[in-house]
Structures are given as structure tokens and as C-alpha cells.
């Protein structure tokens, strides 16, 4: 044991504040030296080192613990590195791990003397990052880069020396991670936002070159979040917010569910500590009771599947705290009102076994309508595949069931890493991984054209988030879009030319405005005209980065936007997180004469003999009216046409006119709902997918504990009105749905009022 003479005083106990004579300490030691030297010849103690400075240390009052701390740190480093090697040997039994050992020695040497705020040597962080990568199944070269990921940024090591020592591949990976800026975003909120936007661009550039760069960065962020409690409070909040906005959704988009869940929960714990603790306490309160019931369900299901001849494993699946919180907010319910905090997952051997297991589940319990999702037939963009269903148990509580094959389950846990192949020193990636990464490379191209920092962050959050929709082309092809996407987003997803020439859209056979919010299951048909060009207002209608970029590019080509380098920053505008900004006026579409004749409706009828007034040149999107003339029949004017208003006219000859998909009625309904918590929330959730333009709403209590909800909304036709009424009647607790009035928003009345 080594003792430091400079730090030995505090170990000697003081007696009533009185100093201890030096002889009292030294004399016993001097007398003991011969005995110690004699004992050192014994086999048991012959290996111990007795150094002369121990006498000096003891004579000064205490034994120094610094060498003990150093020894403990070295032991911790060796132990963690041994775990890393063990995991890599398990993953790659035939691989040569010398590159990993060499990287560890270099990282330890480069970070010598550097300490983290936790008090640990800095190299412990590097080892932990490499461990996270190894647990995901990544190869030894990537883990070696993980060990070295901070040496270019935090030490004197240069890229050239790193490439000379470890090769160009590792140097490129480490350099890619280094170019992504660190955790700190100093300055004002605006400056931090700009820095964050630049950081996002750098991540996309690095990922487009090699996906392992972003995996190392995410592993780095994950370990930093695990040790975030050592940072100052303001820095913890900034990092947690960035993690929740960018890193966790990115992990999800890459298909790495284990990282996503942990990042979300760790960030949630920092951002809303009181809510986090409350949910954690609620989950723990009846844990044993829930686990006992869940284990009983698992055993029952396992037996039923075995009887059906299906080889499968059934496991419990508890929801993560952030997922529970989101569900409480989304549904407006307390924790006690949530009935599906736990669920089960069935892992089969084959894909066909998934559908067989689904049949068993639905034969045992009644499936809840609208809760079956087949991600095997329609995989998510992050490569996730599986079947989700929710069934109603005999106790009246719903239960979520996920069904996957063994391969699907591995991909769900490992994401893109599941497609990274390492074999005897050869690193390749399969075709599925190339398809998965295409969206990242495309996203970088889209966001290069984004001039507003807020717009960039908004696009990232929207494109990364979980709430996507799945729509169909007329030929039955499935297309995935973010929630809130419009027909224009769909058109630009198909092809830029389709988007540029879009004049309208039919959804499920019905004309809809371009700002319509698409829903999962919609069949979308885009109407085009060769004379159509994009409009500046389209930028605020679309929600995807791809569509916004293509529109801007085309507008610049037409001279309607300044060149990119001269474009001033767009002023901030407050946007609803999950919905595009709606233009206060209709979107006007300039189309050719033949297209106008196809779209015009006279009192709801099409194919009438009409001509379009030259004085106002009405186009789809303009409010219009018809005026009966002797020849050629009916002339269509804009409602705000000054020439028409100034000229003498006979009100009896004014007829209603509209464009297909733009005939609008104002309908008023009253909904009576019984005593039930969160009744209004359930009504709003039922109406949300219908894209209603609600003009006014009023809530009032009635007798017998009932409540009335009166609202006025825009509707296109009687069929839609009946659908709304039918949907409201299906909401639990609703006792009556009454249609109060329907009033046509007539162009004739508008004209007469003018």
C-alpha cells in the first residue's frame, strides 16, 4: 500500500481538541519495524511491499486514501472493459479484438487526467459508449470508434495521427462524430435554436455517409443522459429538451426501440420530475397485483397457443413512463382511468405463425373496432413489422397484444443495426438498410433549402415523430406520410411534376380542398393540369420537408422567389405542433379552360353550358356565382367581381355556382351526454379524423347531470352530415344527437348582400 505523506493528518482521531504528541504515534511504529521485517519473510507476506515512506506518513498523522481511490478507478476501468470484450466475443466469436484493445489503450492514454463531473475518469464514459454499441450488436470496428469518439474533440490527438494508427475507417467515424457539436448550447434561446439547427444538419450529413456515425452519437447521448444528474439544472433542462425533440425520435426512426424508450424516460424525468415521480409511484403501488394477473394471462395464452400447435413465446410488456404520460394527456385521463398500462407480446418462429396467433387471440377475446394494425403487410418506414391488436378481456378491461416473429422482434429492438453485417473483417449492409437510410439522405437534401431555423426544427420534429398515416394510391400502393399531411404532400411524395401540376384531389372518390388533412386508409387521386404551377401559399399548406423544398425550388425557377443565398430569414410564426398553418383565404388554382369546365357546378349540377366572365376571370378557389344570359346560357363571375356589381342585374337570374369539392354548408348539431368523466374529450377524439372546420362551439350543463354540446361546422354534403351524426352516436355516454339546422353558404346570398 502506498501512503502519501502530504495528506495524512485528518485520519488521526483528536481527543477533546488536544494535539497528540508525536512520540505517541512514532514510538509504537519504530518498535514494530523489526517485527514487521521479520514477518515479511513469511510466504504469506513476502509479496507485500513495505516502503520507507510509510513511517513518514504515519508520523504525520494519517494514511493517504488517494492511491486506494486510484486503484479502485483502475479496477472499475478494467472491469468495464472486460464486460465490453465479453459482449463482443459473444456477438463475434471469430473476430479479432486487438483493434478494440488498442483503442482502449489509446483512449486511456489520451484522456489521462481528465475527470467527469461524476468523479469518474473520462475514459469510463468512452467504455460505456462502446458497451452500449456492443449490446446493440455492432461490430468491433464501430466499438473501437466508440472508445475513441471524443479524442479529436477533447485531447491533443489529430485526425492524421488517428488515421495512421487505426486506419481511415475508424478515423472517418470519429471525425464524423466530432463534427456534430457537443451538448452545450450557450447564448440566448434564439442562438441556441440556430446552433441546434446546425447540429441537426451536421448529423444528417454524417449519417448520409455512414449510419454508424449517428449510432455512436446516440450511444454517447444515451450515456450522458444516464449521468445527467451531475450537470447544473439549466443545462439538464436544455439537454433533456433536445433529447426528447431530436435524439429519441431519431432513435425511433432508426428503429432502435430500446434506445428510444430509455431516452424518452430519462428526458421526461428531467423535464417533468414531479409528474415522473407520481407515475412511478402509481405504477409501483399495485405492481405485484398487476404482475400476478399478467403472469396468469401469459400462462393461459401459452397453453392456448400450444394447443393450437403454434410454437411461440409469450412475455409481458409494461408501458414506459413517458408513454403512459402521453396517453394521459392525449385522452385527458388520470392514471387510474387508464386500463391498458400493461400488455402482452407474442413472439412466433415464423411470419405465418403471427397470423395464426392472431386468430387464437381473437377467438378468445373480442377485438376492439379500429384497433387492429397489420404492420407486416404495411411495414413502418423504420422497418418495424408486427401485428397490433387490442381485445376486451372478460373483466371489462382492454389488453394490447403485439405479435411478431423472432426476426421481427430482433429488428424492433436493434433497428438499423440488425441489418449491419459483420463477417470476418468484412463490413457490409443489406438492401433493407439502404432503403431505410434513403429517407435520411433525402431529408438532408430537403432541409438544405430551409431558410428558417424554426421551420427546420419543426420539419425535423414532424418527420421524426411516431404519428404517421398510411394512405393508398388509386392502384393500391401504400404511402406513408406524417400526421397532418395534405393532398399536396402526397402529390410531391409521388413525383415533383405531379406536385407542381396539382389542381385538386379526390379522396375516397370525393373532391377535397388542398388543405384537407389525410387520414389512414384514404385513397388519394391527384388531379393535374399541364398549365398549373406552384403558388407561394402552398408553402404554408404542406407539412413535409420534401414538398416545401420542391415548391421553393420551382418558385425560384419561375422568378417568384429570390435566389437562396439572397433570401432573408423568414420571420417566426406561431404554428400548431401537429397541424399546418391554414390560409385565411381559399387557395386559388390557375387552370386551363377545359379544367374549369370540368370542375364548375351550377346549383350542384355539372355539364351545364357555361362561359367564364373575362372581366374577373374566375378560377377554382374563387367564390363564384352564375348569371343566366340569353346566350350561351350561364356566365360565371367571381362573387367580388366589381364589373358585375356595378352593372344592372336581375336577382332572379342569379344562380348558385361552386367548384367541385368546394360546396359548403353550415350545419348545427346538439349532442347530449350523460354523467361521464372526459366526455367532451371523447367527442373531440371522435370528430378529429373528419377534418371538420368547427365555426363555433358551446358547452352547458343540463338537468339530471347531463351536459349539452352545441357546435356549428362546415360540411360538404348530406352524406358527410350523416356520417358525423353516426360517429357521435357511437361515442360512449352520448344519449342523443340532434341536427338543429343546415344552411347553405350560398353564393347568391353573398352576391345579394354585396
Catalytic sites, residue numbers? 153-154
Backbone angles phi, psi at 175, to 5 degrees: -65, -40
* Residue 33, CA atoms < 13 Å, CB-side half-sphere: 13
What is the spatial distance between Cα 635 and Cα 637, in angstroms, rounded to a whole number? 6
Task: Report DSSP state, residue 370.
Answer: T
Backbone angles phi, psi at 156, to 5 degrees: -85, 0
Nearest to 545 by CA among 437, 448, 438, 436: 448
For Cα atoms 558, 561, 567, give the angle at the middle one, nearest 5 degrees. 150
Q: In which element (H, E) is residue 696 found?
A: strand 693-701
Backbone angles phi, psi at 186, to 5 degrees: -75, 170
> Does residue 735 sit in helix, strand or coil?
strand
- CB neighbour list of residue 708: distance below 8 Å, 6 or more residues apart: 670, 671, 672, 673, 699, 700, 701, 702
What is the spatial distance between Cα 37 and Cα 386, in angstroms, rounded to a whole number? 72
> Does residue 465 sit in helix, strand or coil?
coil
What is the spatial distance between Cα 239 and Cα 192, in angstroms, rounded to a whole number? 11
Question: At CB < 8 A and 24+ separation, what contacts does 388-392 make?
Answer: 389/358, 389/361, 389/362, 390/340, 391/361, 391/362, 391/364, 391/365, 391/366, 391/367, 392/365, 392/366, 392/367, 392/368
Q: In which element (H, E) is residue 478 found?
A: strand 478-482
The alpha carbon of residue 348 and the mean position of all alpha carbons in its chain are separated, in whole angstroms, by 28
Q: Which grid coordinates are listed for 627?
A: 348569371
- CB neighbour list of residue 127: distance below 8 Å, 6 or more residues apart: 77, 80, 81, 84, 104, 147
Q: Which grid coordinates are listed for 394?
A: 372478460
Nearest to 481 by CA among 442, 436, 519, 527: 519
Task: Report DSSP letters for 484-543, one per residue.
Answer: T--HHHHHHHH-HHHHHTEEEEEETTEEE-TTPPP-TT-BEEEEE-TT----GGGGGT--
Amino acid at each position: 500500500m502506498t501512503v502519501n505523506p502530504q495528506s495524512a493528518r485528518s485520519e488521526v482521531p483528536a481527543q477533546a481538541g488536544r494535539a497528540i504528541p508525536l512520540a505517541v504515534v512514532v514510538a509504537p511504529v519504530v518498535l514494530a519495524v523489526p517485527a514487521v521485517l521479520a514477518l515479511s519473510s513469511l510466504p504469506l507476506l513476502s509479496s507485500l511491499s513495505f516502503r520507507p515512506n510509510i513511517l513518514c506518513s504515519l508520523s504525520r498523522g494519517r494514511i493517504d486514501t488517494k492511491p486506494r481511490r486510484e486503484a479502485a478507478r483502475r479496477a472499475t476501468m478494467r472491469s468495464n472493459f472486460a464486460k465490453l470484450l465479453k459482449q463482443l466475443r459473444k456477438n463475434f466469436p471469430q473476430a479479432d479484438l486487438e483493434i478494440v484493445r488498442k483503442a482502449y489503450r489509446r483512449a486511456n492514454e489520451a484522456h489521462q487526467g481528465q475527470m467527469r463531473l461524476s468523479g469518474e475518469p473520462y475514459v469510463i464514459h468512452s467504455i460505456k459508449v462502446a458497451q452500449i454499441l456492443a449490446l446493440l450488436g455492432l461490430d468491433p470496428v464501430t466499438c473501437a470508434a466508440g472508445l475513441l469518439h471524443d479524442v479529436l474533440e477533447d485531447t491533443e490527438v489529430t485526425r492524421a495521427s488517428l488515421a495512421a494508427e487505426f486506419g481511415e475507417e475508424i478515423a472517418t467515424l470519429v471525425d464524423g462524430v466530432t463534427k456534430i457539436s457537443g451538448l452545450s448550447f450557450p447564448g440566448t434561446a434564439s442562438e441556441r435554436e440556430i446552433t441546434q439547427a446546425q447540429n441537426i444538419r451536421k448529423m444528417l450529413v454524417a449519417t448520409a455517409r455512414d449510419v454508424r456515425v449517428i449510432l455512436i452519437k446516440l450511444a454517447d447521448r444515451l450515456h450522458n443522459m444516464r449521468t445527467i444528474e451531475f450537470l447544473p439544472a439549466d443545462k439538464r433542462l436544455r439537454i433533456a429538451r433536445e433529447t426528447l425533440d431530436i435524439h429519441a425520435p431519431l432513435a425511433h426512426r432508426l428503429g432502435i426501440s430500446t434506445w428510444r424508450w430509455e431516452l424518452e424516460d430519462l428526458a421526461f424525468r428531467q423535464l417533468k420530475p414531479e409528474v415522473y415521480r407520481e407515475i412511478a409511484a402509481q405504477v409501483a403501488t399495485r405492481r405485484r397485483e398487476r404482475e400476478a394477473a399478467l403472469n396468469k394471462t401469459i400462462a393461459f395464452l401459452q397453453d392456448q397457443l400450444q394447443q393450437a400447435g403454434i410454437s411461440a413465446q409469450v412475455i409481458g410488456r409494461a408501458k414506459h413512463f413517458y408513454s403512459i404520460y402521453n396517453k394521459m394527456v392525449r385522452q385527458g385521463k388520470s392514471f387510474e382511468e387508464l386500463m391498458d398500462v400493461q400488455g402482452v407480446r407474442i413472439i412466433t418462429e415464423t411470419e405465418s405463425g403471427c397470423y395464426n396467433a392472431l386468430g387464437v387471440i381473437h377467438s378468445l377475446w373480442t377485438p376492439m373496432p379500429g384497433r387492429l394494425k397489420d404492420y407486416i403487410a404495411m411495414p413502418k418506414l423504420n422497418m418495424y413489422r408486427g401485428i397490433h391488436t387490442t381485445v376486451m378481456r372478460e373483466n371489462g378491461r382492454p389488453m394490447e397484444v403485439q405479435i411478431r416473429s423472432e426476426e421481427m422482434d430482433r429488428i424492433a429492438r436493434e433497428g438499423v443495426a440488425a441489418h449491419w453485417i459483420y463477417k470476418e473483417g468484412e463490413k457490409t449492409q443489406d438492401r433493407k438498410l439502404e432503403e431505410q437510410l434513403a429517407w435520411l439522405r433525402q431529408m438532408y437534401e430537403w432541409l438544405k433549402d430551409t431558410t428558417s431555423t424554426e421551420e427546420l426544427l419543426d420539419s425535423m420534429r414532424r418527420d421524426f415523430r411516431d404519428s404517421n398515416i398510411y394512405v393508398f394510391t388509386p392502384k393500391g400502393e401504400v404511402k406513408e406520410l406524417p400526421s397532418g399531411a395534405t393532398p399536396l404532400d402526397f402529390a410531391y411524395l409521388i413525383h415533383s411534376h405531379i406536385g407542381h401540376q396539382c389542381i385538386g384531389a379526390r379522396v375516397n372518390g370525393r373532391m377535397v380542398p388542398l388543405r384537407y388533412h389525410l387520414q389512414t386508409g384514404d385513397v388519394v387521386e391527384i388531379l393535374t393540369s399541364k398549365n398549373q404551377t406552384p403558388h407561394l401559399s402552398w408553402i404554408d399548406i404542406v407539412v413535409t420537408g420534401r414538398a416545401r423544398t420542391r415548391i421553393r425550388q420551382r418558385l425560384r425557377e419561375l422568378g417568384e422567389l429570390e435566389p437562396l443565398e439572397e433570401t432573408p430569414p423568414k420571420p417566426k410564426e406561431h404554428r400548431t405542433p401537429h397541424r399546418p398553418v391554414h390560409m385565411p383565404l381559399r387557395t386559388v388554382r390557375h387552370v386551363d379552360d377545359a379544367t374549369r369546365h370540368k370542375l364548375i357546378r351550377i346549383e350542384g349540377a355539372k355539364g351545364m353550358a357555361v362561359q367564364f366572365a373575362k372581366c374577373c376571370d374566375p378560377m377554382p378557389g374563387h367564390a363564384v356565382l352564375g348569371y343566366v344570359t340569353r346566350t350561351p346560357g350561364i356566365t360565371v363571375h367571381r362573387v367580388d367581381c366589381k364589373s358585375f356589381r356595378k352593372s344592372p342585374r336581375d336577382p332572379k337570374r342569379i344562380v348558385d355556382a361552386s367548384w367541385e369539392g368546394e360546396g359548403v354548408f353550415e350545419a348545427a348539431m346538439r349532442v347530449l351526454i350523460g354523467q361521464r368523466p372526459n366526455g367532451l374529450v371523447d367527442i373531440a377524439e371522435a370528430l378529429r379524423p373528419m377534418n371538420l372546420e368547427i365555426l363555433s362551439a358551446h358547452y352547458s350543463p343540463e338537468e339530471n347531470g347531463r351536459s349539452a354540446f352545441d357546435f356549428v361546422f362546415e360540411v360538404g354534403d348530406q352524406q358527410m352530415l350523416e356520417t358525423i351524426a353516426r360517429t357521435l352516436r357511437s361515442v360512449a355516454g352520448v344519449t342523443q344527437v340532434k341536427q338543429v339546422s343546415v344552411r347553405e353558404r350560398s353564393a347568391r346570398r353573398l352576391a345579394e348582400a354585396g
